[in-house]
């Protein structure tokens, strides 16, 4: 959902912080739950909440959840990224870095609920595990 600068409020700030915090906690839980399953397949499972900037209402701030599965060669065959919030300055619809007359500050918040995001992350991990188990069985000729 897109927000104009005049719509930035304490309520929106709290919603952003709550979403980021809830997803960070969930990622921590996923790491502890799935780390050993990926280790058995000789894969590294990395996930985190990424933030750029310190103030959600300042251009350049963005936050996202990322999950990456890294194989034994250091390649990343699976990656999943979900943007939570992004604040940017635009002029005539194009992102800019300078504050020029006529530019606007807007924010973009993900539309899905926290529960939907949790389900999406879990489904992604389950699909990767299923694909990798199938791949391992094919390599063994089973």
Segment 64-117, tens digit of pLDDT: 999 999 998 999 999 999 999 999 999 988 889 889 999 999 999 999 999 999
Half-sphere exposure in the Cβ direction for 19 (13 Å, CA): 26
Residue 39 lies in a domain: yes
Residue 138 lies in a domain: no
Contact present, 96 and 90 (Cβ < 8 Å): yes
Contact present, 74 and 63 (Cβ < 8 Å): no
Q: Is the pLDDT of residue 49 over 90?
A: yes
Specify the number of domains making up the chain. Answer: 1
pTM above 0.75, yes or no: yes
76/88 Cα distance (integer angstroms)? 29
Residue 139 lies in a domain: no
* Domain span at 23: 2-132
Residue 103 lies in a domain: yes
């Amino acid at each position: 959902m897109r927000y104009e600068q005049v719509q930035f409020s304490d309520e929106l700030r709290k919603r952003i912080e709550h979403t980021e915090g809830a997803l960070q906690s969930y990622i921590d839980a996923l790491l502890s739950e799935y780390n050993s399953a990926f280790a058995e397949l000789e894969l590294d499972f990395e996930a985190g909440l990424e933030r750029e900037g310190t103030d959600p209402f300042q251009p350049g701030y963005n936050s996202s959840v990322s999950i990456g599965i890294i194989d034994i060669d250091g390649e990343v065959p699976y990656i999943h990224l979900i943007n939570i919030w992004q604040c940017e300055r635009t002029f005539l619809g194009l992102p800019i870095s300078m504050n020029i007359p006529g530019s606007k500050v807007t924010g973009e918040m993900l539309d899905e609920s926290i529960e939907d995001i949790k389900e999406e992350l879990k489904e992604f991990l389950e699909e990767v595990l299923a694909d990798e188990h199938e791949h391992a069985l094919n390599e063994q000729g089973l």
